[in-house]
Amino acid sequence: MQNKTKPRPDRTKHLLILIILSCFVFLIGNNLLSLTNPDEVFYAQTAKEMIHHNSWMTPYMFGQPQFEKPILLYWLLRIGFILFGVSAFGARFFPALFGVIGVVAVYLLAVAGFKDEKKAFLCGLITLSCGLWVGLSKTVFTDMIFSVLILCSLASFYWGYVQASRKSTGILLFFAFAALAVLAKGPLGILITLLTVIIFLLFARNLKYLLCAEFFLGLCICAAISVPWYALMIKKYGTAFTHEFFYNDHYRRLIFAEHRSNDTWYFYPASMIGAMFPWSLFSLASLGYLFKMIKKNASPFYVFLACWIAVTLFVFQPAHSKLVSYILPLFPALAIITGDFIHSCLRENKKKLILGILIASAAILFMLPGGLLFAAGKYSIYVPSKTPVYILCVLILVLCSKLTFYIVKRDFQKSVFVLAAVVPLIVLYLPFVYKYAESYASSKYACEYLMKNHDLDKPIICSKFFVRGVRYYTDKEVAFLSLDGSNFYSPHPVLFLNSAEKLIEFMKKTSSTYGVFSKSYSKRLLTLDDPRLKCALLKTVGDEYILKLESNP
């Protein structure tokens, strides 16, 4: 009896530690840096305009409905603004909260899979100290919310799978979380989860597990949660919705590369390992360990995790538009495998293996300050003061020294905990340098200058990167200038000036206005050899060039 109840206090203690650490890392400093260009301001502005239109169902941007993403994130943003005001912290609150929920879910799933609280704690610790997980927990994107709902869905299934008495609850929760994932990012929410489960059950030769009343009830619950919003949008907006959401934001990204340099076969495999920093080398080794455990038929949990990773890669790999954040749904599974691998090495006393990986990881960390100093020199325009960089380099070197000390002493457990401190330390240091980054990361200061010193009664003309930020920080009409004819990120009801001639025609009607441009666009406008247009540089704020544009009769 004592053996059965003994893990419970440990579980409570582990959960409290993970929750406190996650809240500390994911929430601290989220109010210090203004919402950044071009994506954070896009999501926040959509929620702001929904408030303005008193709408909970239709997302708005530039005063018109926009359908780039489903509704869940905008609901959460509105709630965040109700709780904390229209602010950076209010916008970032729910991504951070979901980051915390994800760490807890990883721990509980690892407990269900391994029946080992200490191993599960290490899996949770790796998740909350993984570079990509931390970064997306502190920024306004759909990816963290979507990924945690995928995680909760698959964790619910496996929780019910390993104990027959929980089967009904597990299946129903699986579908409920998958439905919320559909509301977070679209049909991929049910595709990834259901495909993972079906392939896992095929490998387990247990597909009949789904032939039950709960499965069909779950499908009905999934449809009842996820379909109504889509049905409402189709009924209300018809092809305007279906073309934008299903064609432009799903099919077009499948066949067209928005980021051409990322469109390679190795982008996602390399990103999967690199974004696990500082656990990258352990994660790489853990994949070999995973195949070994599957070959040994050690536990169906390894097959489940392998199916999870493989399905996520299979779904996203064919698409030509690739971003690291897209494959975040597989990171909980990768963190669990990495935690299991490290724990097994420590438990089985595999000194040579873990020593080699720790030495290589320490060498990479020692190179990091050099990389930071090189980047600070090469991109000096973005680093007005190198003092914060020097301080960060010193902090990293202190950690490296501590890590080296424990490696030399062969204290591998403490070495692992030092490694877990790397990303949290960097993230908690960042608030001290936000004042240097503010003018380069957001349009807030440039917009404050314009609103304080000039009458903004005409549309503000912007180059691509600043359009959304200027709209968010001024709430004024904006126009998008593209002298080379390139398109906007996605179709939006914003005034589009895609040539110098269209700019001249626009200026004839407005007489004079102001613009926020990149350095290259500013230079082109200031040297534009056209007597019909007069441009003057008013101020430079970070990398934003504020110009006054006037029409010459």
pLDDT tens figures, 134-143? 999 999 999 9
Which residues, 6 or more positions from 538, have their beta carbon under 8 angstroms from its beta carbon? 514, 546, 547, 548
With respect to residue 266, please indicate whether it lies within any of the assigned structural domains: yes
Given phi > 0 = left and psi -120 to 50 = alpha, else beta, which region is 156? alpha
How far is CA 447 from each of CA 50, 384, 476, 516, rounded to the nearest angstrom? 22, 20, 10, 9
Q: Are 546 and 538 in contact (CB under 8 A)?
A: yes
Q: pLDDT tens digits for 455-465? A: 999 999 999 99
pLDDT given for residue 297 in this prediction: 82
Residue that finishes a domain, picked among 437, 459, 477: 437
Question: And the tokens for 462?
Answer: 């912007």
**Domain match, 239 and 93 both:** yes
Q: Are 542 and 527 in contact (CB under 8 A)?
A: no
State the residue range of the domain holding 537: 443-551
pLDDT given for residue 258 in this prediction: 77
Question: And the tokens for 458?
Answer: 């005409």
Which helix (H) or strand (E) segment is 116 a member of? Answer: none
Question: And the tokens for 333?
Answer: 């599974």
Q: Indicate the pLDDT class of residue 5, thresholds 50, 70 and 90.
A: very low
**SS3 state of residue 540:** strand
**Domain match, 331 and 356 both:** no
The pTM of the whole model exceeds 0.85: yes
**Domain match, 384 and 472 both:** no
Q: pLDDT tens digits for 369-402? A: 999 898 888 887 777 778 888 999 999 999 999 9
CA distance 103 to 335: 10
Question: And the tokens for 146?
Answer: 């979507």
Sign of CA dihedral 170, 124, 77, 309: negative
Q: What is the DSSP letter of 9?
A: H
Q: pLDDT tens digits for 496-536? A: 898 888 999 999 989 999 999 999 999 999 988 888 899 99
CA distance 305 to 508: 62
**SS3 state of residue 63:** coil
Q: pLDDT tens digits for 26-49? A: 999 999 999 999 999 999 999 999
With respect to residue 47, please indicate whether it lies within any of the assigned structural domains: no
Q: What percent of the chain lies above the pLDDT cut of 70?
A: 98
With respect to residue 143, please indicate whether it lies within any of the assigned structural domains: yes
Question: And the tokens for 160?
Answer: 């019910």
**Domain match, 320 and 408 both:** no
**Domain match, 203 and 76 both:** yes
**Domain match, 187 and 254 both:** yes
**Domain match, 404 and 454 both:** no
Q: pLDDT tens digits for 425-459? A: 999 888 888 878 888 999 999 999 999 999 999 99
Question: And the tokens for 184?
Answer: 């977070």
φ, ψ for residue 186 (rounded to 5)?
Answer: 115, -165
With respect to residue 50, please indicate whether it lies within any of the assigned structural domains: no
Question: And the tokens for 179?
Answer: 């439905």
Residue that finishes a domain, picked among 437, 467, 492: 437
The answer to whether residue 115 scores a pLDDT higher than 80 is: yes
**Domain match, 229 and 137 both:** yes
Which residues, 6 or more positions from 114, have their beta carbon under 8 angstroms from its beta carbon? 120, 299, 301, 340
Q: pLDDT tens digits for 245-293? A: 998 888 888 888 777 888 899 999 999 999 999 999 999 999 999 999 9
Residue that finishes a domain, picked among 410, 437, 464: 437
Indicate the number of domains in the chain.
Answer: 3
Question: And the tokens for 288?
Answer: 């070999």
- Over residues 72-99, mean pLDDT: 97
Integer-rounded Cα Rg, in Å, for the chain is 25
Q: pLDDT tens digits for 44-68? A: 999 999 999 999 999 999 999 999 8
The answer to whether residue 2 scores a pLDDT higher than 50 is: no
**Domain match, 519 and 390 both:** no
pLDDT given for residue 182 in this prediction: 98
Alpha helices in 457-528 (DSSP H): 467-474, 500-510, 519-526
DSSP secondary structure string for all residues of 194-223: HHHHHHHHHHTT-GGGG-SHHHHHHHHHHH
The answer to whether residue 176 scores a pLDDT higher than 60 is: yes
Q: What is the DSSP letter of 264?
A: S
| 43: nearest Cα among 7, 71, 3, 5 | 71
Total residues belonging to the chain: 553
Which residues in 454-476 are b (16+ Cβ under 10 Å) and which e?
Answer: eebebbbbbbbbbbbbbbbbbeb
Q: How many CB atoms lie within 10 A of CB 225?
A: 17
Q: Indicate the pLDDT class of residue 4, thresholds 50, 70 and 90.
A: very low
**Domain match, 172 and 246 both:** yes
With respect to residue 108, please indicate whether it lies within any of the assigned structural domains: yes
**Domain match, 528 and 422 both:** no
Q: What is the mean pLDDT of the chain?
A: 92
**Cis ω on the peptide bond leading into residue 278 (within 30° of 0)?**
yes
The answer to whether residue 3 scores a pLDDT higher than 50 is: no
With respect to residue 527, please indicate whether it lies within any of the assigned structural domains: yes
CA distance 339 to 359: 18
With respect to residue 242, please indicate whether it lies within any of the assigned structural domains: yes
**Domain match, 89 and 192 both:** yes
Q: Are 440 and 379 in contact (CB under 8 A)?
A: no
**SS3 state of residue 495:** strand
pLDDT given for residue 248 in this prediction: 83
Q: Are 432 and 385 in contact (CB under 8 A)?
A: no
Q: Are 134 and 128 in contact (CB under 8 A)?
A: yes
With respect to residue 58, please indicate whether it lies within any of the assigned structural domains: no
